[in-house]
Chains A and B, each alone.
Chain A
């Protein structure tokens, strides 16, 4: 199974790469059909699940060098933030001597079983940047580097200014027709409104981890005549909203929420409960809800979905030594439970989960934490992932190296455009739409990083 799907992946990837040059959508689409026919998947379903680590993940402590000289550099730079070498969980495969943070045994195991890959030193870039470019103001840079909300916006939207859509939204704009259900958005958020999933025509549908709540007191099919009348009055008020823009929009969201709540809840209620137990906490709760929604894909009549799950508190300016293990442990256990749930649904090959974050953090300590920086490592997980390998380039951890613009702020060597494009090509975004979805991709030579 793994073998077949890997060859299919490679085939598709080559197809995408070939087509990007010629921009031949027809060719790609024909190849895709062939590829799909070849694998004859019982379940032609794919989902991307983004876990957004809000605040800026200090990934220099998530993936740490283990060979003596590199570790010593790491330890001397990071000082009181350094993870003891003996505690690191080594990566047994791959070409680099690195280990995971000790709070992440599940990540280690997924990685060693080729289900998880690391993308090293990825970050927001418009074009490749060298240290001398940066120092001499020679390159075009994303706006307001190191600022939380601006960088959250950039990594989600990849737009330089006045961003209004994200790459998942733009992908959904062109792929939404694959879903028979056109009422439910292709993009579902467990963390509210976000730019990542907003397109021109597709906007995220937000649910919360505790399930879908129905509107009380407004059941149009109630056996209580008062309630049915009330529901009709309510709907009439909604539809008759006067011409104020906010009023109409509010009524529109409310009416959509009213309809979708019943539809989604009834689809969820038809599913057999999953046996997988998710860890306590927001991430576990949210991922458990994602798994439930995925289990209801047939009832919901959808073939492509993009999920957005936020996890907060990564802004570890202070008390990092205590806060980081808890964050990493929750992330590792949550991801692992999610993979178990997908295995239960026989969908490990169909769902790819990946992390994003505002930015990486400084290598140097501010006393008991780290500050906003730039490049950072991301993880990608799932049956389709070419796991057990570190992709991209691991940076030097020396202070003032060519990778460091100061205080251990590392210049990314892989862009978010490349990262997203690799995921989107697995997801099946037509080649002709890459330029729209990933506006800066043309500035980079490698458009498929090969991790999935």
Chain B
């Protein structure tokens, strides 16, 4: 709806940009961009001088810096001085390829290490009690935040976060309580497959014991007619509705197909669900030895489930699009057949592509944008279906991602989810963990990003959605102007009045009186059992330019709002800072100016929006 027609000129310029980016090398690892055949060395223009300092609005590189910061809003947990300079100097395409080649920062080894540093067994047996489970989950959450704020694999973690909102598990309900290692391992699985193939990811998710527990596929048995017991339909339903094909048949551009009466066409029915429910029988934790053994130990919760043939339904099963799994297959054979059947359904490309676009770039991609991405999902150019690396690259380099703010200035983009907002603050002003004290308050156990309680403070917590339907639905349209303009706005679903106040407070709390150089911050301590405490932040770079109000606002505008604060608002912010006292050698006056400027910007709608 945003961009149904592109001018030929715009498209040509765009294609030229793309091919220039691809030909430059640095993308040899990906089948989508094979090494070009030997050609005469082109005449290269002289290397420009690298940009050494963050440009301000009067500088020659300001527009490029805005473009870079905007790109980093879509690809990371928030722009930083270093990342903006890296994109400026490396070029967007090389930076992107470098990110696609960066291996995953894994949580599970970090978590085990942390358990050991606290003197806890990483994999206790028998299972630990409830209170310990809570302390263990605090450590896992600390690691989640420390990784997204500091790890080099920013794009991979950002895509993993997006995937965690499509392939949802949550420990809000009791089902995953005490499964700390399992959740860490699930997160690692998403990160490792983020640039892999969706077929592999779908099977890994299906066999992950956390999904097995969350959607009750683990220990699901074949029918027992005598006891009126039939296979559990939970996973069978949701793997179709949410993880692969969706409710209705889709065109390649993500719009619904309609029948002769103009009605959408259901993509499956209750009989299909029952057939898939029979596929998903006979799976249990890898550490069980016999079917009835009840183990949900810290080792088994991080290993793919294993099959018990005697419990598996071996009748034939009619799946989607006329595929029938023959009778007599093993659980593994049925699994392979069912995963292939789902993965090859034409809906998967548009269904998953559109949601990834919504998580990374914009709530309202045009059908043409969805189609361009879904086409790459269907075939990466080398006959491979489901290549997520190619999909992610296409999403991020598409003309709509790069120029949507110019083409549709009043509607392009997305409200950033609360977690992305606070992460941006803590990356831009590098967060220094809070000193967490041990049980008797005798010693610091470490400096931690302690924010497990973010559902209370922000209305959102990683792996903490209310149900498998995520924090918000991809089709949510906020009542009022947004709905009247037929726009989708998923993240608005959790931006109610009460979360708006709590979240705005959390953003300002993250900034006011948090300067790590101030002695009052050093005095803060978080008890071992606290689930939330804002870290200290490093604003030394901002303080160093605080005497120049315009420079300070430019820098904050760039790093927090991708330079998109309009001029009148910028002037207002500058005047407000100019009116504050300033002493060249007065660090306190510098700190006050920084927090006044950053606090108001972070609380504003300009910061909340990614466009």
Contact = CB atoms under 8 A, between A and B. Distances in A.
Contact of A244 (B175, B410, B478, B596): B410
A164 B609 contact: no
A244 B411 contact: yes
Contacts, number: 219
A214 interface: yes
Given A206-B496, A249-B480, A79 B228 contact: yes
Contacts of B499: 192, 206
A399 B228 contact: yes
Given A250-B495, A261-B497, A226 B596 contact: yes
A246 B413 contact: yes
B483 A164 contact: yes
A451 interface: no
Contacts of B604: 234, 237-238
Contacts of B173: 312-313
A247 B496 contact: no
Contact of A193 (B414, B467, B496, B606): B496
B586 interface: no
A92 interface: no
B233 interface: yes
A100 B479 CA distance: 40
B411 A245 contact: yes
B498 A237 contact: no
B230 interface: yes
A367 B409 CA distance: 54
Interface residues of A, number: 80
A312 B467 contact: yes
Given A217-B512, A245-B487, A230 B600 contact: yes
A334 interface: no
Given A233-B572, A254-B504, A148 B467 contact: yes
A207 B498 contact: yes
A323 interface: yes
The interface centre, meaning the residue of B467, B501, B502, B609 with most chain A CB atoms within 10 A of its CB, is B501
A216 interface: yes
B190 interface: no
Interface string A264-304: 00000000000000000000000000000000000000000
Nearest to B231: A366
Contact of A212 (B414, B498, B572, B606): B498
Interface string A25-57: 000000000000000000000000000001100
A146 B249 CA distance: 18
B611 to A, nearest CB: 6
Nearest to B504: A215
Given A313-B174, A318-B234, A249 B596 contact: no
Nearest to A264: B497
Given A149-B469, A214-B501, A237-B572, A245 B482 contact: yes
Contacts of B234: 315, 317-318, 366, 369, 371
A276 to B, nearest CB: 23
A317 B232 contact: yes
Interface string A337-358: 0000000000000000000000
Given A54-B466, A254-B504, A245 B232 contact: no
B5 interface: no
A81 to B, nearest CB: 10
Contacts of A317: 215-216, 232-234
A378 interface: no
Interface stretch (B80-88, B219-227, B344-352, B535-543): B219-227
A385 B605 CA distance: 46
A208 B455 CA distance: 12
B415 interface: yes
A95 interface: no
Nearest to B236: A371
A128 to B, nearest CB: 21
Contacts of A192: 493-494, 496, 499
B455 to A, nearest CB: 10
B174 A250 contact: no
B489 interface: yes
B284 interface: no
Contacts of A226: 580, 592, 596
Contact of A207 (B216, B489, B497): B497
A213 B411 contact: no
A329 to B, nearest CB: 14
A367 B232 contact: yes
B509 A234 contact: no
Contact of B509 (A216, A256, A365): A216
Interface in A241-265: 241-254, 256-258, 260-261
B304 to A, nearest CB: 19
B229 A366 contact: yes
A242 B605 CA distance: 10
A109 B609 CA distance: 52
Contacts of B611: 244, 246
B585 interface: no
Contacts of A254: 500, 504, 605
Contacts of B241: 147
Interface in B571-606: 572-573, 576, 579-580, 592, 596, 599-600, 603-606
A212 B481 CA distance: 26
B393 interface: no
Contact of B497 (A241, A257, A318): A257
Contacts of B476: 193
B568 interface: yes
A9 interface: no
A146 B482 contact: no
A445 interface: no
A317 B273 CA distance: 14
B442 interface: no
Interface string A372-388: 10000000000000000
Contacts of A234: 600, 603-604
Nearest to A366: B232
A216 B508 contact: yes
A138 to B, nearest CB: 16
A228 to B, nearest CB: 12
A173 to B, nearest CB: 12
A433 to B, nearest CB: 19
Nearest to A55: B467
B4 interface: no
Interface string A218-241: 100000001001100110111011
Given A261-B501, A366-B233, A243 B410 contact: yes
B600 A193 contact: no
Contacts of B566: 242
A80 B227 contact: yes
B606 A249 contact: no
B128 interface: no
B421 to A, nearest CB: 11
B372 interface: no
20 contacts: A147-B247, A149-B469, A206-B498, A208-B498, A229-B579, A233-B576, A236-B572, A237-B600, A244-B409, A245-B487, A247-B609, A249-B492, A250-B605, A253-B497, A257-B501, A313-B173, A317-B234, A364-B228, A366-B234, A367-B232
List 7 A-B pairs, minimum CB-CB distance, nearest first: A206-B496, A318-B216, A257-B497, A366-B232, A317-B234, A317-B216, A250-B605
Interface of A: 54-55, 76-80, 144, 146-150, 164-165, 189, 192-193, 198, 203-208, 210, 212-218, 226, 229-230, 233-234, 236-238, 240-254, 256-258, 260-261, 312-313, 315, 317-319, 323, 364-369, 371-372, 399, 406-408
Given A234-B604, A312-B467, 15 more contacts: A193-B476, A203-B480, A205-B497, A213-B501, A230-B576, A237-B605, A245-B487, A246-B482, A246-B489, A250-B608, A251-B605, A253-B496, A366-B220, A366-B229, A366-B234
